[in-house]
């Protein structure tokens, strides 16, 4: 019996995900272009995937657990359980408008068009705020939308803020604070749950050692 874990193949979470497993004492051959690999000293098999696909793989029980951003978990809204925050991949999903706009509160967004790659989260936020805005889903380069007249506002991930700044935008609302989390399938058998508990014990020890 092995625990199958899905992590990001390449991108912002890949390195920290591999590093965390390593710090847990798990030796994984880092084969280039490999889609899957096994550890030599822990019953775990690693699948390398696009981050967006990880919640679906876990819901479908193709993977037992995964490391993925909370932003992706809440956007995809799959039947998975968030087990533990991992302390890396920290960012926030924020609304930004042109630096020249006078923005006092969310009512500014009433009747406005917001470009985002996170339509599910943004729609929910607008409903909670009682703001009737038009959500315009695009698949990337969100930050240029206001400049080209595609939208009045955007909702995108921010970490340092330099992307917003370089595009003449200012951050006006935080919709979600996010970091990488461990998610699990709701249908783990007892043996897999025991392996997960063992992994979690080590993850918590690694986290404690960093505080
Ligand atoms: O190929 P794949 O689909 O797997 O990767 P991806 O391109 O969709 O994702 P990737 O690697 O960019 O991000 C993976 C995860 O990292 C995200 O889902 C977040 O949970 C987390 N994360 C943390 C970030 C950022 N910080 C971040 N700053 N993801 C994206 N950004 C982008 C943001 O979209 C914007 O374009 O960085 C830019 C802003 O950064 P600053 O520093 O200029 O504010
Ligand atoms: Zn992605």
Looking up residue 134, the CATH number of its domain turns out to be 3.40.190.10
Residue 61 has pLDDT above 90, yes or no: yes
Kindly report, residue by residue over 26-38, the tens digit of the pLDDT.
Answer: 999 866 678 999 9
Position 31 scores a pLDDT of 65
Ligand 1 centroid vs 75 CA: distance in angstroms? 14
Atom of ligand 1 nearest to the CA of 159: 44
Dihedral of alpha carbons 56, 136, 74, 130, sign = negative
Residue 171 has pLDDT above 70, yes or no: yes
Cα-based torsion angle of the residue sequence 43, 49, 52, 57 in order, rounded to the nearest 10 degrees: -50
Domain count, the chain: 2
Kindly report, residue by residue over 175-207, the tens digit of the pLDDT.
Answer: 999 999 999 999 999 999 999 999 999 999 999
Q: Rounded to 5 degrees, what angle do the CA atoms 42, 43, 47 make?
A: 105
Q: Is the CB of 89 under 6 A from ligand 1?
A: yes
Position 34 scores a pLDDT of 82
Same domain as 135, residue 35: no
Same domain as 82, residue 53: yes
Same domain as 8, residue 70: yes
Position 190 scores a pLDDT of 98
Task: Render 134-172 in DSSP notation, one character per residue.
Answer: EEEE-SS-GGGTTTTTS-SEEEEEESSSHHHHHTTEEEE
The domain containing residue 127 runs over which residues? 91-178
Same domain as 200, residue 159: no
> Which protein residue's CA is at the shortest distance from atom 18 of ligand 1?
69
Whole-angstrom Cα distance, residue 49 to residue 14? Answer: 10
Whole-angstrom Cα distance, residue 37 to residue 45? Answer: 6
Position 117 scores a pLDDT of 98
Ligand 1 centroid vs 186 CA: distance in angstroms? 27
Same domain as 102, residue 136: yes
Q: Is the CB of 73 under 6 A from ligand 1?
A: no
Kindly report, residue by residue over 88-106, the tens digit of the pLDDT.
Answer: 999 999 999 999 999 999 9
Judged by DSSP in three states, 109 sits in helix
State which of 91, 163, 182 you would mutate to test the pocket of ligand 1, scoring each by most atoms of that ligand within 8 A of its C-beta.
91
Same domain as 185, residue 170: no
Average pLDDT over residues 13-20: 97
Kindly report, residue by residue over 117-169, the tens digit of the pLDDT.
Answer: 999 999 999 999 999 999 999 999 999 999 999 999 999 999 999 999 999 99
Same domain as 136, residue 80: no
Same domain as 45, residue 115: no
Position 29 scores a pLDDT of 80
Same domain as 139, residue 63: no
> Which protein residue's CA is at the shortest distance from atom 21 of ligand 1?
89
Same domain as 199, residue 169: no
Q: Is the CB of 98 under 6 A from ligand 1?
A: no
Whole-angstrom Cα distance, residue 198 to residue 205? Answer: 11
Same domain as 96, residue 162: yes
Same domain as 193, residue 141: no
In this structure, how many other beta carbons lie within 10 angstroms of the beta carbon of residue 53? 19
């Amino acid at each position: 019996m092995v625990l199958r874990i899905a992590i990001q193949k390449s991108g912002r979470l890949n390195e920290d995900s591999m590093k965390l497993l390593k710090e847990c004492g798990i030796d994984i051959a880092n084969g280039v272009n490999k889609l899957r690999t096994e550890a030599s000293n822990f019953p775990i098999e690693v699948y390398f995937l696009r981050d967006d696909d990880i919640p679906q793989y876990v819901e479908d029980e193709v993977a037992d657990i995964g490391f993925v951003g909370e932003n992706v978990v809440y956007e995809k809204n799959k039947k998975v359980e968030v087990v533990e925050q991992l302390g890396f991949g920290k960012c926030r999903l924020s609304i930004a408008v042109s630096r020249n706009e006078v923005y006092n509160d969310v009512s500014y967004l009433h009747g406005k068009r917001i470009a985002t790659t996170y339509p599910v989260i943004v729609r929910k936020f607008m409903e909670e705020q009682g703001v009737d805005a038009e959500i315009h889903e695009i698949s990337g380069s969100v930050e240029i939308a206001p400049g080209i007249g595609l939208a009045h506002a955007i909702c995108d991930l921010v970490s340092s803020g330099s992307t917003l700044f370089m595009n003449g935008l200012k951050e006006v609302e935080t919709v979600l604070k996010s970091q990488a989390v461990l998610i699990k399938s709701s249908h783990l058998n007892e043996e897999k749950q025991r392996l997960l508990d063992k992994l979690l014990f080590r993850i918590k020890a690694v986290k404690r050692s960093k505080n």
